[in-house]
Amino acid sequence: MKIALAQLNYLIGDFEGNLSRIVDAVQKASGNGADLVVFSELSISGYPPLDLLERKDFVTTCNRYVEKLATSIDPGIGVLVGGPEFNPSKEGKLLYNSAFFLYEGRIQQIFRKSLLPTYDIFDEYRYFEPNRDFHILEFRNRRMAVTICEDLWDEQPFENEFSHSRLYTTNPLESLVRQKPEVIINLAASPFSHMKMEVKQAIFTGKATRYKLPVLYCNQAGSQTELIFEGGSLAVNPGGQVVRRLKFFEEDFDIIDLDELIHHKPNPDAGQIPDRIGSMADALICGISDYFRKMRFTSATLGLSGGIDSAVTLALATEALGPRNLHVLLLPSQYSSQHSVDDSIALAQNLGVKFDLLPIESVFNQFRKTLRPLFGDLPEDITEENIQARIRGTLLMALSNKFGNILLNTSNKSETAVGYGTLYGDMSGGLSVLGDVYKTDVYLLARYFNRENEVIPENIILKPPSAELRPDQKDSDSLPPYDKLDQILEAYIERQLPPEQMTGLGIEPGLVQKIIRLVNQNEYKRYQTPPILRVSSKAFGIGRRLPLVARY
């Protein structure tokens, strides 16, 4: 039997577009002699549709397009496609997260998801009823265990110290294996995390090894707002070795001969985990590109300061959108160093990006003059620093409004975590590119872009980071060194460790308490940030929900 894996990039609610992609893949599979073609989880609707699932008309349309797909394709090929399904019972949630088996022009069988994640970015139990009825797909004298994403991930480890060794009390695969399948098929919509690549692959290789069965995993590619899906669909032999892997961060297609997979020796390169920083760069480029394409935006802007964050953001955006679709502004004040201006110009020229130089000193002085009757002889402080940031934000938004260039936010995760940014100033934007990237990784991304030749001027990478909002200002005036800061933040945000358990980091307790206090105090700022491209296991945004008004 030949089984095709169709790794596609869907758009939520674009039923005609999704159907067209799916039909093209089925035709390709049929033309290449495939017996069955597998698509990803909720592929008809796009994943995750969120509260669109609460609209009866949305789900009805999904069902109609599943039926339309069944009648639009070669009736001689089998298709497994994901979509929401109305619960036929009068009890429980209104929907199932289902995989429809299409053959001979109609829905022949339906497989429903059992394990519904409700952690981090996932909230599937909000919409779906868990499946409790397990059955095998029998097709062309083959027995197949059809699972949907989490149903294969029942033993995944958690980083939180309060988690159980097993997240779920049921094991769908155990129930299916008792029915003696010959292959495990998994339809998934699994988002990218730069620290989870090995863990994710180990889930599939581990299941294959345990049950001595081949595993076929079909993930979706592309991004949906802040979520990025790396693709990387897999074919694993019964010995737990990766035989075939589809491309990362783009659509791909492959046909697996099941008999060959059972006896096939692995491709030594297929199971290799890609470079972490390279994968992060690819993910961010994918996130920018898809956000603009799917929102029908064409051009972008940002403020190029001469610092590392705006430099890396521009390098990523240039890869994603092309230099012709970028127009950036250099907005120096009287506190900006000449080398920051020179470095910014050199970077823009290296990348072939249009730029304009708009000094803000005269505008800033006009603000001072206007506010003097109110402020009197009070000394200058963070107020004047924030005014400069907001002047820059206003000018960038003016360019955005006049020419339609979407403003890219350049704040990194370290700054966003501790509130080192100005609301309606440097925290403005339509999309946050680095908001889930710690400062130490921003430097590694810069080195990644310079791996073949100098794209980002070396001086930008080497000079001490500074907001340049007052004379001789350095980030280290307000924050500890970023290597220490990021250690504390990662332990607190990603691993959710309490302060007393961070002593092993070798950092003084007083500094730990100070940083945690800053993180907690600045939750209100993060509520007002643009969508943040997610590349970690715990990003700010929909996956981290904390109360604004709290005392903990």
> Which residues carry out catalysis?
41, 113, 149
Q: Name the residue among 302, 280, 287 with its Cα closest to residue 410.
A: 302
Under DSSP, the state recorded for 452 is: S
Question: Where are the extended beta strands (E) located within 120-180?
Answer: 137-139, 142-148
Whole-angstrom Cα distance, residue 111 to residue 97?
A: 9
Phi, psi for residue 112 in degrees, rounded to 5: -115, 145
Cis peptide before 266 (omega within 30 of 0): no
Angle 276-295/308-321 helices, nearest 10 degrees?
A: 60
For residue 402 the two structure tokens come to: 């006049």
Whole-angstrom Cα distance, residue 242 to residue 265?
A: 9
Within a 13 Å sphere around the CA of 441, how many CA atoms are in the beta-carbon half?
A: 25
**CB of 411 closer than 8 Å to CB of 432:** yes
Phi, psi for residue 186 in degrees, rounded to 5: -125, 120
Exposure pattern of 20-32 as b/e (b: 16+ CB <10 Å)?
A: ebbbebbeebbee
Q: Which residue carries 């924050």 as its tokens?
A: 479
**CB of 93 closer than 8 Å to CB of 81:** no
Within a 13 Å sphere around the CA of 168, how many CA atoms are in the beta-carbon half?
A: 19
First to last CA, the chain: 58
For residue 518 the two structure tokens come to: 């800053």
Residues 6 or more apart from 74 whose CB is under 8 A from it?
A: 26, 27, 30
Q: Using DSSP, state whether 511 is helix, strand or coil.
A: helix
Q: Using DSSP, state whether 298 is helix, strand or coil.
A: coil
Report how far Cα 211 is from the mean position of its chain's Cα atoms: 31
